Amino acid sequence: MKKVFITLSIVFITTLFYSCKKNEQRILDITPTAGTALVKINYSMPFAVNSSVQIKINDVRVSNLITFPTPFPGGGLNTGGSNQPDYMSLPVGTSTVSVSRPNVGTNVDSLILFSGSVSFEANKNVTLHVTDTGAAVTSVLTVDNVTMPDSGFSRFKFVHLMPNVPAIDLYYGTTIVAANILYKGVSSEFQIPVTGTSLSWAIRPAGALSTTTAIATYAQTVADRKSMTVFAAGYNGALTPRAPRVSLLYNR
């Protein structure tokens, strides 16, 4: 069985996971060491009962208990977790990633919700997004750009993780920033200037008029020199906890 290698910085961060201050992003060493990859898991599986889950790599539990939607480690906006760009340092090669509901008070799997073999490459920062439920559960692996954007801008990409909408247009304010992104699709990167004004991210079915009611919205004032992934989660038309939402996770 492979061992999971977690850097000292990540061990420290995990220990203090809930003590991190909101809206205070620490700059971490986000360059993989030789022979490793930096990995984030975006738990985006919208069950009708939002029970706590654990994440395991090669049968070793690496997470605290989390709920939908939470990127681990780290977090984002309109998600669980902190506002940090943290990654786990994992060995290069194929690893088994699983998400499960544990027996109460233990790390023992009660119900495995997702399990898959994922190949991690050296010197890359990646996020494994897991979405949908039951037999339809699936995943998307994205490569994250963790270089610093130019001053006065932040960088984004969009990942469509809402199973019952075939394609989505993403708006920031009244501007389409990612068009016709298919389910499980990933947009090209785009930059937004820092203005100090709060505008709303909005998702609509691809091709819908900008005047139509959005599936979901989330207001954000773009901060300077961040790199983030915007993602659509939940089910269109569902009620909480599976209600549709727009969320963001930090890459840098």
Is the dihedral angle over the CA atoms 139, 141, 146, 147 positive or is it negative? negative
pLDDT reported for residue 31: 58
The answer to whether residue 216 scores a pLDDT higher than 50 is yes
The answer to whether residue 220 scores a pLDDT higher than 70 is yes
Please, what is the average pLDDT of the chain? 89
The answer to whether residue 107 scores a pLDDT higher than 80 is yes
Quick one: pLDDT band at residue 11, thresholds 50, 70, 90? very low
**Stretch 195-208: mean pLDDT:** 97
**Stretch 175-199: mean pLDDT:** 98
The answer to whether residue 175 scores a pLDDT higher than 60 is yes
DSSP-assigned letter for residue 134: G
Residue pair 177/171 in contact by the 8 Å Cβ criterion: yes
* pTM for the full predicted model: 0.87
pLDDT reported for residue 116: 97
The answer to whether residue 187 scores a pLDDT higher than 50 is yes
pLDDT reported for residue 26: 36
Question: What amino acid is encoded at 241 in this protein?
Answer: P
pLDDT reported for residue 35: 74
Query: Bigger pLDDT: 191 or 13?
Result: 191
Residue pair 154/224 in contact by the 8 Å Cβ criterion: yes
Task: Say whether the peptide bond before residue 69 is cis (omega within 30 degrees of 0).
Answer: yes
Summarised one tens digit per residue, pLDDT across range 14-26 is: 433 333 333 333 3
pLDDT reported for residue 23: 31
| Other Cβ atoms closer than 10 A to 49 | 7
Determine the Cα–Cα distance for residues 135 and 192; give it in Å rounded to an integer.
38
Summarised one tens digit per residue, pLDDT across range 58-68 is: 999 999 999 99
DSSP-assigned letter for residue 239: P
Summarised one tens digit per residue, pLDDT across range 70-99 is: 999 989 999 999 889 999 999 999 999 999
